[in-house]
Amino acid sequence: YKMSTQYFDGSNNLMNPNLPAGIVTVESVATDDGMGNETVYSYTYKDGEFYYDNPFDKQLTGFGLVTKTDTEGNVTKTYFHQGNETASTTGEYDDHISKAGRPYRIEQYDDSSNLYSKTINKWDRYDRGSGASFVKLAQSVEFSYDGDSDHKEKAASYSYNNTTGQLLDTKEWGVVSGSNDGTFSDSGTDDFTTSYNYATSTATSTIDFHKVSRETTVDNGSNKVREQYTYYDELSLGSMDEGNPTKMEQWVSGSTYIDIERAYNSYGLVTSSKDPRDNTTTYSYDTNNLYPATTTNPLSQSATYTYDYATGQVEMAIDPNGNQTRKLYDPLGRVASISQFDPTLAPGTLATTTAYTYTDNNFPRQVKTTNYLNSATTTESYTYYDGLSREIETRTKAEESGKYAVNDFFYDNRGLMESQSLPYFASGTAYTGTTTAPASTLLTTYQYDALGRVATASTSVGITTSSYDDWATTVTDALDNSKIYTHDAYGNLTSVVENNGASAYTTTYTYSGNKKLTKITDAEANVRNFTYDGLGRRLTAQDLHDAADGTYGTWTYEYDSAGNIGTTTDPKSQVV
């Protein structure tokens, strides 16, 4: 820990001169995995403020800037509202005491102070009177830099009901042109908006904040791409009592919807569910109405369950064919064994058993898994974990007596996987990862950028590099073959450029408003087009053909109301 009075800038000036008294701050947080790797995050604090309006309205409003530095020197700077002067040039919007502690700007740098990403949040507020405010996130703009000066931005904005605080609309703008003050202008047609309506309680005439009755998404052209209605307590749309969703209608196309229905008991537990084909599954519960005891499918076939009440987990499950699976647990709620019984043999006759033995009093911690294929045949495997419960070694019994197939995993001081081995054979069950490390020829070693993305993967064959430039990733293998993958604002793959010497071959991908792939264009200008319904199910798929060719094959798909494929028709009109 460190006092706020002990932070000085590069000119030896106090970083928190406005605080009336020293504040204890967290200077660093260190995590040791017990394997010699220590992850350390250090913090500095600047521009601490104390708000004072009158003797009854005063409070510490925190620090204007908190800087976090990881073990490798990568830096995250977070700027906060404090209820003082508005720093509009850096994206702070209409500062107010009610916004204190809200982060309005987050920047990420590498160890050479190169900017990799920036997020600017606009926090708005609604004055409810009597000193109360409803603070809301109005918009967020994300900038991708990746260590250089050029960048790309995407944005989202939100609107609310100021009385209830409910989210009314979310607009994802897709690609935008953003400014350093947090403002932006739309620069594409890839935006879509999701709107929400809520059910009102018939008992109290108040709105339950969490009960959405209608959710609709439209694209840039106001075309509906998704919609769902939710009915509660068997009441009309927009009404509710207990708040149990009893019917959900999902839009397919045109005026066609499919619906799912549920019924509940007085405890709010589901007693039956009906799929869009009117097939009903029923549920009954134990005497305490805690857990499902019997599930009966539409064919009147039942599965039964009993529970370990100390852990709340299933102890015995019997499926409709009479197959029994029994699980036992240790005092910490971990599975100790899983046994399956053969219903064709005498009652209680084991088919297979898997047992787990936990060794917690040694380090690294070990879990032994024993599979009993029968009473005379077993296979064993051992998994070792570090102090952070990360897998560091696995040993699986091989055919040769005393030999095990081993995989090792090593982590760096950021907590990322530094290297992992290919399987190799070794003797014994004891952990040897740090004492008898596998040959380098068996290892894949990774390096990462400031955002934790893989930058290099090294093997005995060579090095594969990944370089990032805004929304594009260039991957170059050990033979110097490279591909460039470009994504849109939503993370969809939009193009792949395959470099072959002086030649480059580009394949592009186009998406609909519901983020479904609608078109593929290859390097020879051949295309494939796809269509979907409102549930995202593929309806048609064209064979690859020249864009100018009017003759091509098309696959069509039809579904039943439950979403199962009913028929598939190939380009020769043959039904599969």
CATH number of the domain to which 535 belongs: 2.40.160.190
Largest CA distance in the chain: 84
Domain count within the chain: 1
Indicate whether 95 belongs to any domain: no
What pLDDT sits at residue 204? 62
The predicted model gives 440-449 an average pLDDT of: 89
Indicate whether 73 belongs to any domain: no
pTM of the entire structure? 0.92
Indicate whether 57 belongs to any domain: no
What pLDDT sits at residue 455? 98
What pLDDT sits at residue 503? 92
Indicate whether 486 belongs to any domain: yes
What pLDDT sits at residue 202? 72
Indicate whether 499 belongs to any domain: yes
Our CA angle for 110, 112, 117, nearest 5°, is 35
CB atoms within 10 A of CB 359: 13
Burial state string for 320-344 with b = 16 or more CB within 10 A and e = fewer than 16: eeeebbbbebeeeeeebbebebeee
Indicate whether 38 belongs to any domain: no
Residues spanned by the domain of 530:
464-569
Question: Is-contact 45 26, C-beta < 8 A?
Answer: no
Q: For residue 342, what pLDDT band results from cuts at 50, 70 and 90?
A: confident
User: Which residue's entry shows tokens 């045949």?
Assistant: 377
pLDDT digits (tens, 9 = 90+) for 249-277: 999 999 999 999 999 999 999 999 999 99
Indicate whether 547 belongs to any domain: yes
Please check the confidence at residue 531 and state whether its pLDDT lies above 80.
Answer: yes
Residue 254 gets which letter from DSSP?
A: T
pLDDT digits (tens, 9 = 90+) for 156-176: 999 999 999 999 999 999 999
Indicate whether 188 belongs to any domain: no
Please check the confidence at residue 418 and state whether its pLDDT lies above 70.
Answer: yes
Q: 384 — phi, psi (to 5°)?
A: -110, 145
pLDDT digits (tens, 9 = 90+) for 112-133: 999 999 999 999 999 999 999 9
